[in-house]
């Protein structure tokens, strides 16, 4: 039975209300936010990222087909496993251990890329970088443990904007350094040093103290098996909330397509501008992330209007993105394809802070790590299925047709979401009318 959190009157709602009164007097958590934003900057400051396909082709002597058929898909498959493992690990040993594991994954990635041309190790490197990517999901959920609930929307937007700002500055700087003749190996070495510096912030990142309660005290006395059972029980209760379930399914598809677009956009543009001296991927990436950062911050201004705008966002964003990916797939112009990528990125980053914040706010438990890990695992499962169907194992689609298939999936998502929200509204009205009729027929 699916219930709506907006009509649920349980002790969790009352605790949120009391928490809001308490945190209002504490003010905005500036120091915690600055620390979170700083770590977010270090995670996404990737000087070499816009030139990754060029790096594999020119420095590692692979073909473009080998890159998108044999190298990049390893990230998708290993990411699914890493997300599940690191999500469960977080609930058992804590957030900071998982964040440290992500930093170590990044360091291993840079060591492999800087020291070897071995084909197997280059594939294994995609597994280590997927571990780092999985830890970013844990970091995003840790934000909800580090700040009061009343500030979720603003801090979530700030942290997500830090990702985008880091991507902007690193892309621009990377483009400049490449034009000045700095090698891609040097860019990776600089990125590795910044990653290590970010890792040094982990010991200072702490969750808010939880008020002592009988449940918390008993939790420490439970055996691991009972604790895992408790986690799954709370997980099931969370997904009984209709808005959480809808957002989770929505993100499952939207995030999967987004990961695929971010993985292969360079391959699509490589066909139009195959050499690093003639392409401007760094500038394109910087522009996309800069405008997306503004978009993510602007979404925080809607926190008091979320109830009315969420159904619109859930339908319009995937349909709009569908049109942009169709344009990219048919484009023969490097400039038009770049504009499509930038606009698509803006649309996605506008919706994501709203989705994450709304899910966290509607949750009755504090199991943010496992819930967001499950949502991410769902998106990666979708990504794995799509990757397997369109890749060399099945349909063997070329890059343009792959982007067309991404567009079709997003268009389908928008249509199905419209059907879901329309049905939910009609059902809610019918329930309300029946309650009113019952009250009129049986006045008390």
In percent, the amount of the chain with pLDDT more than 90 equals 32
The 10s digit of each residue's pLDDT in 179-234 is 898 998 999 999 999 999 999 999 888 877 765 544 544 454 455 667 677 778 88
Which pLDDT score, from 0 to 100, does residue 444 have? Answer: 57
The 10s digit of each residue's pLDDT in 408-437 is 999 999 999 999 888 888 887 888 777 777
Which pLDDT score, from 0 to 100, does residue 269 have? Answer: 87
pLDDT reading at 160 higher than 90: no
Which pLDDT score, from 0 to 100, does residue 213 have? Answer: 47
Whether 344 contacts 218, CB under 8 Å? no
Which pLDDT score, from 0 to 100, does residue 215 have? Answer: 52
Q: What integer is the mean pLDDT of 353-375?
A: 80
pLDDT reading at 389 higher than 70: yes
Q: What integer is the mean pLDDT of 359-387?
A: 82
As given in the structure block, the two tokens for residue 241 are 């909330």
Which pLDDT score, from 0 to 100, does residue 328 have? Answer: 94
In percent, the amount of the chain with pLDDT more than 70 equals 85
Which pLDDT score, from 0 to 100, does residue 65 have? Answer: 83
Whether 121 contacts 400, CB under 8 Å? no
From residue 130, alpha-carbon distances to 77, 105, 419 in Å are 9, 8, 34
Q: Distance between CA 42 and CA 40 in Å, rounded?
A: 5
pLDDT reading at 21 higher than 50: no
CB atoms closer than 10 angstroms to residue 387: 22
Q: Burial, 36: exposed, middle or buried (Cβ in 10 Å; 0-12, 13-18, 19+)? A: buried
| 19 band by pLDDT with thresholds 50, 70 and 90 | very low
pLDDT reading at 403 higher than 90: yes
Contacts of 186 (CB under 8 A, 6+ apart): 177
Which pLDDT score, from 0 to 100, does residue 195 have? Answer: 93
pLDDT reading at 2 higher than 50: no
Which pLDDT score, from 0 to 100, does residue 375 have? Answer: 86
Q: 212: which DSSP letter?
A: P
pLDDT reading at 439 higher than 80: no
pLDDT reading at 337 higher than 60: yes
pLDDT reading at 119 higher than 80: yes
From residue 428, alpha-carbon distances to 379, 422, 423 in Å are 29, 10, 9
Whether 342 contacts 324, CB under 8 Å? no
Which pLDDT score, from 0 to 100, does residue 224 have? Answer: 62
Q: Distance between CA 17 and CA 272 in Å, rounded?
A: 55
As given in the structure block, the two tokens for residue 419 are 């059907």
Of 188, 70, 170, 85, whose CA–CA distance to 126 is shortest?
70
Q: Distance between CA 410 and CA 132 in Å, rounded?
A: 27
The 10s digit of each residue's pLDDT in 369-381 is 678 878 878 888 8
Q: DSSP for 143-185, please give it.
A: HHHHS-GGGHHHHHHHHHHHHHHHHHHHHHHHHHHHHTT--HH
Q: What integer is the mean pLDDT of 317-326?
A: 96
pLDDT reading at 142 higher than 60: yes
Which pLDDT score, from 0 to 100, does residue 278 have? Answer: 60
Return the top range by mean pLDDT from 9-23, 77-91, 319-333, 391-405. Answer: 319-333
Q: What integer is the mean pLDDT of 265-294?
A: 80
Average pLDDT value over all residues in the chain: 82
SS3 state of residue 92: helix
From residue 422, alpha-carbon distances to 114, 150, 352, 411 in Å are 53, 29, 22, 17
């Amino acid at each position: 039975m699916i219930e709506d959190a907006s009509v649920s009157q349980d002790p969790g709602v009352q605790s949120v209300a009391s928490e809001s009164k308490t945190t209002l007097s504490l003010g905005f958590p500036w120091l915690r936010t600055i620390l979170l934003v700083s770590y977010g900057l270090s995670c996404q400051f990737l000087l070499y990222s816009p030139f990754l396909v060029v790096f594999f082709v020119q420095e590692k002597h692979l073909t473009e087909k080998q890159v998108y058929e044999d190298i990049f898909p390893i990230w998708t498959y290993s990411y699914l496993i890493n997300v599940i493992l690191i999500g469960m690990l977080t609930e058992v040993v804590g957030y900071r251990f998982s964040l440290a594991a992500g930093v170590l994954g990044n360091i291993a990635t840079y060591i492999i890329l800087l020291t070897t041309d071995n084909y197997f190790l280059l594939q294994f490197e995609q597994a280590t970088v997927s571990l780092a990517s999985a830890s970013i999901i844990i970091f995003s959920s840790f934000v909800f443990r580090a700040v009061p609930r009343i500030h979720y929307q603003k801090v979530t937007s700030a942290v997500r904007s830090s990702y985008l700002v880091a991507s902007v500055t690193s892309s621009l700087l990377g483009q400049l350094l490449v034009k000045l003749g700095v090698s891609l190996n040097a860019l990776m070495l600089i990125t590795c040093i910044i990653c290590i510096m970010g890792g040094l912030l982990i010991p200072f990142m702490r969750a808010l103290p939880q008020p002592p309660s009988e449940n918390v005290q008993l939790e420490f006395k439970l055996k691991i098996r009972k604790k895992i059972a408790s986690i799954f029980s709370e997980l099931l209760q969370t997904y009984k909330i209709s808005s959480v379930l809808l957002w989770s399914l929505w993100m499952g598809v939207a995030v999967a397509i987004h990961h695929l677009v971010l993985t292969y956009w360079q391959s699509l543009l490589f066909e139009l501008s195959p050499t690093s001296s003639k392409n401007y991927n760094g500038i394109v990436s910087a522009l996309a992330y800069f405008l997306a950062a503004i978009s993510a911050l602007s979404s925080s201004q809607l926190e008091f209007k979320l109830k009315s705008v969420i159904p619109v966002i859930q339908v319009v964003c995937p349909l709009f993105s569908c049109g942009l990916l169709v344009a990219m797939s048919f484009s023969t112009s490097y400039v038009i394809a770049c504009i499509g990528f930038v606009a698509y990125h803006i649309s996605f980053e506008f919706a994501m802070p709203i989705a994450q914040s709304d899910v966290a706010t509607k949750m009755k438990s504090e199991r943010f790590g496992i819930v967001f890990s499950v949502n991410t695992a769902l998106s990666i499962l979708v990504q794995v299925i799509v990757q397997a169907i369109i890749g060399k194992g099945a349909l063997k689609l070329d890059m343009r047709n792959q982007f067309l298939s991404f567009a079709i999936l997003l268009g389908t998502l928008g249509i199905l979401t419209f059907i879901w929200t329309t049905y939910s509204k009609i059902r809610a009205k019918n329930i309300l009318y029946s309650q009113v009729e019952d009250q009129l027929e049986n006045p008390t």
